[in-house]
Every structure is written in C-alpha cells, then in structure tokens.
C-alpha cells in the first residue's frame, strides 16, 4: 500500500504565523508565555487576557488560531469559558493549562471531552529553570503541532508566488494537517507484510490525542486483553496517568492501573506507564514483571514509548505487536524498528483520524508498519492478528 504525503518543509513555507491568545490570571505566566511565543518566527501573540470572560468577549475580534486557557481564573474559569469560546470560533484550538492537582487533572479530562484539543501542566514555580524549560518546550510544540490544522494558507496568485500582504482563513480542514514537527517525510509510505510470528503481547504508544484514542481502542479489544498482556505508554505527567488508568478500566471493563515496579505482568490487565517514569517489561526468573526507572527523558518524554517497545524484544522475542497512535514527535519509531527487526509487527494510526500525525507518521515513513489504519479499524485488526490472521 502506498500513500502520498506532503513534505512539512514545503507546506510550512505557505503558512503565515499562528495567532495565539494567552488567557491566565497570573501576569507573570502571561508575560512569560507571551515572550516565548513572540520569540518564535511561526507564531505570534494576538491577545494576553486575564479572565475567561475577557477571552469570550474578545475572541471574535482578535480571531486567534490557538488559545492557551488557564483553568482557575476569576469571573469565568477555563472549563466554563471553553464551550463559549468554541461556540464563537468553531475551529479554535484550545490547550488547557493547569497545575498538577487531581482536581485540575479531572477538569482537563472533562475539557478534552468538551472539545479542548489538549492540556499542558504548568510548573509549580517557573523559577525552577529545568521545570520552565520543559514547560516551554512542550507548550511551543503543542501550539505548533495542533495549530497546524488551522494555519491560514496565504492566497496564491501563481504556483511560485505567494504574496505576504493578503491572507485569508483556510476553510475548515476535513482532516488534521501534517504536524510540522513530524519526522522527515518521504513521498510514499509503503507497508510491509505481517510477520508469521504469533504475537504474545500488545504494546501501545500514544501522545497528543491519545487519551480519547486509547479509550476507544481498549473498548474494542476485550478478548485480546483477556488473552495477552497489554502495556501502554501515554505521554502524560503524574496524576493525569492515574486518572487515565481509571478511564481505561471503565472503557475496557477490565482492570487497568499504573504499572508498579516489580509486579507480575499477566493477561487480563492493562498496565499504564506512570507519569514521570519509564516503564519496561523485564524477565525475573520464569516471570515477566514491570520495571520502572527514573532515567532521563527519551525523545523529550518521560514516560517514553521507545523504552517500552524495545523492552518487549527480550521478553517476548518476535512475539510483539506494537501500535503507534496519535501524537506529536517521533517517539515509538526507533523502538518500532527494533521490534520489526526482531520479528514483531507495527501498526500505526492513519493521518486522517490522528489529532497529530507525528508519532504514527514517523513510524509509517520509516517503512516499519504492516498496517496504517483509521482508529476505528485498529481494534478489529488487532483482534484478528491475535486470532492467527496474518493477512
């Protein structure tokens, strides 16, 4: 199967800067975020506002592409402002921002169900340089990746000339645009045959858009969960992963929890990498156990998908099915290469159903995937593979 794709570099040159609205009651946070954004050539701050009410009242006038929306604000909080903002600007990309509390994590999950594109945890103190650096990196990447869907295409008078003085909003895209931060893209995506090896474990990696994708997927693969171990890495901070595990348990109607260092891995349970720790599978005598570590980030992520994927090779040899779902960046691609080299298989979510086609796009363009499928077809394919179908 071959799929034509557009080079991100070629597409990038056709876009004007993303218009970003920053909504936070802290003047320090607003100033910090605004300076970061305005220092980037492909984005600009068009509004720096103190309350959700200010945002609702001004969103049509300033017409942002992306809004960074604090949860806790006076007059009108973020979760109350969200539906009003989306009602006034249907294609607005909203990224919720909150500190890492259980309450705020729950609100962020609710916000995503109401139409927010993503969330970002704010550091307790921006005086901590390392915390501020991670926050800055993640924020700019999220703005860039998610905003790619709503960038304005400059009006074009000829194939080679694009005047910078006239820009019109693009029509609503039928599907998300390719993320500018995706790995280098080849002109064709080619799939490989499925390995004849019977999979004995299901390993899943996801990031931006992942929580909703994961909940939809686990609801469809109950018979697989009952038969083989299922381990998942979703790019998420602590507290958020605790809540995601609870959502996965409800969606799958099977036990799901954050992995615990040293616990036995067995069929019938979903193991989710806890925020802030890498999760691997490891051999312990005749048993397979969860191994957590506090090592440095991999691909700017902790937990990261690559460590999970590569750990499955020693434990299950060629019997690994790795699935890469929606997410920015390229995490999972290198681990997926090693899985395939060891005789396993990789499935990626397709671009049309991905919130960001970064991670699955990187895997697809590396030529390691045996299938690139819409989200609503992945569950059935996984079920067939674990039933012996290699087609």
Report d(CA 376, CA 391) in Å as an integer: 18
Report d(CA 216, CA 83) in Å as an integer: 23
Report d(CA 332, CA 281) in Å as an integer: 15
Residue 66 contacts residue 96 (beta carbons within 8 Å): no
| Among candidate residues 53, 37, 113, 45, the one with its CA nearest the CA of residue 88 | 53
DSSP line for 185-211: --SEEE--PPPSSPP-EEEEEE-TTHH
Catalytic residues: 207, 235, 331
Burial group, residue 286, by CB count within 10 angstroms (0-12, 13-18, 19+): exposed
Report d(CA 327, CA 151) in Å as an integer: 19
| Among candidate residues 58, 66, 85, 74, the one with its CA nearest the CA of residue 24 | 74
Burial group, residue 90, by CB count within 10 angstroms (0-12, 13-18, 19+): exposed
Report d(CA 54, CA 74) in Å as an integer: 10
Cβ neighbours of residue 89 under 8 Å, at least 6 residues apart?
59, 60, 63, 64
Tell me the pairing of strands 18-23 and 43-49.
parallel
């Amino acid at each position: 199967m071959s799929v034509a794709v557009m080079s991100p570099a070629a597409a990038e040159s056709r876009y004007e800067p993303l218009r970003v609205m920053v909504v936070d009651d802290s003047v320090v946070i607003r100033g910090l975020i605004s300076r970061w954004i305005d220092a980037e050539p492909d984005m600009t701050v068009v509004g720096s506002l103190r309350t959700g009410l200010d945002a609702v009242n001004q969103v049509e006038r300033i017409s942002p592409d992306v809004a960074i929306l604090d949860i806790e604000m006076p007059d009108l909080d973020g979760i109350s402002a969200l539906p009003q903002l989306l009602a006034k600007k249907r294609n607005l990309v909203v990224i919720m921002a909150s500190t890492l509390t259980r309450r705020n994590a729950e609100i962020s999950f609710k916000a995503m169900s109401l139409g927010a594109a993503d969330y970002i945890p704010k550091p307790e103190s921006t005086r901590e340089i390392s915390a501020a650096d991670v926050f800055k990196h993640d924020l700019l990447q999220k703005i860039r990746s998610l905003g790619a869907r709503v960038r304005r295409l400059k009006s074009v008078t000829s194939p080679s000339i694009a005047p910078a003085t006239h820009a019109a909003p693009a029509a609503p895209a039928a599907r998300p645009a390719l993320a500018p931060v995706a790995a280098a893209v080849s002109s064709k995506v080619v799939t490989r045959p499925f390995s004849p090896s019977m999979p004995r474990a299901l390993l899943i990696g996801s990031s931006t858009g992942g929580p909703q994708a994961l909940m939809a997927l686990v609801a469809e693969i109950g018979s697989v969960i009952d038969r083989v171990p299922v381990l998942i890495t979703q790019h998420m901070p602590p507290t958020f992963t605790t809540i995601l595990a609870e959502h996965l348990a409800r969606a799958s109607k099977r036990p799901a929890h954050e992995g615990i260092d040293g616990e036995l891995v067995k069929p019938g349970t979903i193991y989710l990498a806890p925020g802030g720790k890498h999760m691997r599978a490891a051999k312990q005598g005749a048993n397979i156990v969860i191994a957590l570590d506090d090592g440095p980030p991999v691909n700017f992520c902790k937990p990261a998908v690559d460590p999970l994927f590569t750990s499955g090779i020693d434990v299950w040899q060629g019997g690994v099915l790795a699935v890469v779902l929606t997410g920015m960046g390229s995490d999972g691609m290198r681990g997926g290469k090693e899985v395939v080299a060891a005789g396993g298989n990789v499935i990626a979510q397709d671009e049309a159903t991905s919130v960001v086609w970064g991670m699955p796009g990187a895997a697809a363009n590396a030529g390691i995937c045996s299938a690139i499928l819409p989200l609503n077809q992945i569950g059935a394919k996984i079920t067939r593979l674990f039933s012996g179908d290699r087609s």
